[in-house]
Amino acid sequence: MIVTDIVEIKVGRANKKTAYEIYIDYDYEFLLYKQDIKVYQLEIATEITSELYDRIIEDTVFRRAKQKAMAILKYMDRTEKELYSKLKEAHYTDNIIVRTIEYLKEYRYIDDERYASNYIRFRKNTLSSFSIKTKLMRKGINKDILEKIIAIEYDIEMNDADPEIVAINKAISKKYRDITDLNYEDKQKLIASLYRKGFDLDKINRCLK
């Protein structure tokens, strides 16, 4: 394996830190800093043994990827897809990202099912189930996981009231204190507004009666 290129780039907040993309046999392999290059004695045309390559990966790249992931998760839970995107932005390769995510899943630092459960639980009384499902699918939540949790969280027997009905009533109360005096045109506008938010039409009409 031969170092075929070392490309200087700017990273970090406001792109103030200098780092180097290391290419081996013309393929991008990892990001290192000046002190790393000095320690590992890397230059263009340097031959890298398998032992040295593995040491760089294990002692520096994979270790930093785990640290980066933990820093990302410190203040906010993330889905696998979101974490993948963040690590990709930090110049980690797919192999390193997959390893990092598997490590985090093993210790339950990241759990899409837990994420989806919490997301739905805290939003089901203010958003439509359609809107919630759409947002979670964009975040990369598996459809089977999503359907399972939706069924649990929207189980009428497990809730004091239908969460969708509660959410519709809250949405209505934000616009009107009293809907009994709404004329036909205003009521149709309200129905259309709620429908666009993903609420079930039958439940909207039920709440307006």
Contact 80, 101 (CB under 8 A): yes
How confident is the model over 80-129, as pLDDT tens digits? 999 999 999 999 999 999 999 999 999 999 999 999 999 998 998 889 98
Report the relative pairing of strands 17-24 and 27-32 from DSSP bridges: antiparallel
pLDDT above 80 (res 67): yes
Distance between CA atoms of residues 198 and 181, nearest Å:
25
φ, ψ dihedrals at 7, nearest 5°: -110, 125
pLDDT above 70 (res 159): no
Contact 100, 65 (CB under 8 A): yes
| Maximum Cα interatomic distance, the chain, rounded to a whole number of Å | 81
CATH fit for domain 3-106, picks 1.10.10, 3.30.160, 2.120.10, 3.40.50: 1.10.10
**Percent over 90 (pLDDT), the chain:** 62
Nearest by Cα to 24 from 47, 58, 40: 47
Q: Range(s) for CATH 1.10.10 in the chain? A: 3-106
Contact 137, 108 (CB under 8 A): no
The distance from CA 33 to its chain's CA centroid, rounded to whole angstroms, is 28
How confident is the model over 7-59, as pLDDT tens digits? 999 998 888 889 999 999 999 999 999 999 999 999 999 999 999 999 999 99
The pLDDT value recorded for residue 4 is 95
